[in-house]
Structure 1
Amino acid sequence: MTIVCNPFCDDVLDNGRSLGPSPIVHISVKPGSHRVTLKKGDMTKVISVIVVSGQVTAQRVSMK
């Protein structure tokens, strides 16, 4: 899974587990539905990401 925030996010969480600041590039996660929380200062966005086995899933999110 790859997550890119524009501008960068301070923290990216996958189902509540911190993955660190963005960009998150090619991190291995289990297939299925993921609730991804993006944090930038006081702003928080939550997106749903479906990961399919054997495929690269990428999301680009505007944090403006």
Structure 2
Amino acid sequence: MAEIKFQVYNKSGGGATKAPATRRSKGHGFTTKCAALVKEQRSRIYILRRCATMLVCWYIQGDD
């Protein structure tokens, strides 16, 4: 199975300094990571669906 990689961007817009982690940000970080993973998987499924549709269309047109 392929390894899944994803990036989570800091939305605070801060500079190079990092703020210490708080209890509240841990839950939010997990939610953000899950949302990013879901978005990536939806994108992959969309691309696969488009490719499959094109292949089927080409196959059907080739039967003429």
Say yes or no: TM over 0.5: no
Greater fraction of residues in strand: 1
More helix by share: 2
Compute the TM-score of the two structures, normalised by the length of structure 1. Answer: 0.17
TM-score in terms of structure 2 length: 0.17
